[in-house]
Structure 1
Amino acid sequence: MWYSEYVKNNKEAFLNKVVSISNQLGINPNWLMFVMYWESGLNPAIRNKYSGATGLIQFMPATATALGTSVSALANMSNVEQLDYVYKYYRPYAGRMNNLYDVYLVTFFPAALGKADNWVLQTSSLSPRIIAEQNPAIDLNKDKQITVGEFKRYVNLKKKDLH
């Protein structure tokens, strides 16, 4: 399985649970491992000092609350325990994630799932410019907006790092 050598604790239980929840979600477990590796290095306690995002898929504080927990609680969970919340996060999208891009889009910007490659990431409260400024590595052409296609190209750059 992709990136399995980076699992530091509970390796067998963690990988078995990744396979189990991936099967329940109807996705390839490699897709989930890819996202967790690039979001957290598979470290369930890692926290973004700017946004407060925490854990395997970098749960935002409001997302953690919506899932019935907190980023503090997530940071104190084992990698295996935190997978319950990873599953809970993705469950509403089961059956609509058809490839690695979809899984990563649901993680990064769920409103973009199913949108055309030219769709610009934005919401009523987040302008394209703010999203691009907060994610400069994804704004590949530096035009102060991120499209779905640009996000896919960003993921492809990460895929080149697979061994």
Structure 2
Amino acid sequence: MKTKTLLIAAFSMAATALCQAFTIDFNALVVPVGTTITSSTPLTINVDGYGPVRFEVGGTDVVQVGTTHSNDPGTSIVNSLEMDGGDTVVVTFLGPEALNVDFDIAGINPSEEAVQITQSALRTYEFQVNTIANEGSNGAGIAAVSWTSVPEPSSAVLGAIGACAILLRRRR
């Protein structure tokens, strides 16, 4: 019984080491409201346990961290990376491979704008706010980015060696 408990604990630890979840929340960050991002001045945020994530704009767009948008009408305003219709933000994950990337969008109005998110490279996502035909648009914002990552192969190998050591010990 004691060996089974140790084996379950070892596999649980190995499973948690294989995948970690991360979030960049513009409400919880120390990025001050008014921080501006242009093509020549990208914003790089270092995420503890993961590494850097870079936000840069396409072309001559200018975006900034602001407090214009809310998630639902009548709710509290949230900090977000504010974009006007037609603006493009390129998000590049510079740490381990990012999986299950999810963008929390603030201020999207389906009758005025549509958001298009495309993965342009292995670790790069393009986020664009498009204005719907002949409608005014106050834009939208990226309030948070969530993802999971797979650690370096050496971490997985160490977890596998530990599990094998427990199994070999049990057989003796």
Higher strand share: 2
> Greater Rg, structure 1 or structure 2?
2
Which TM-score applies when normalising by structure 2? 0.23
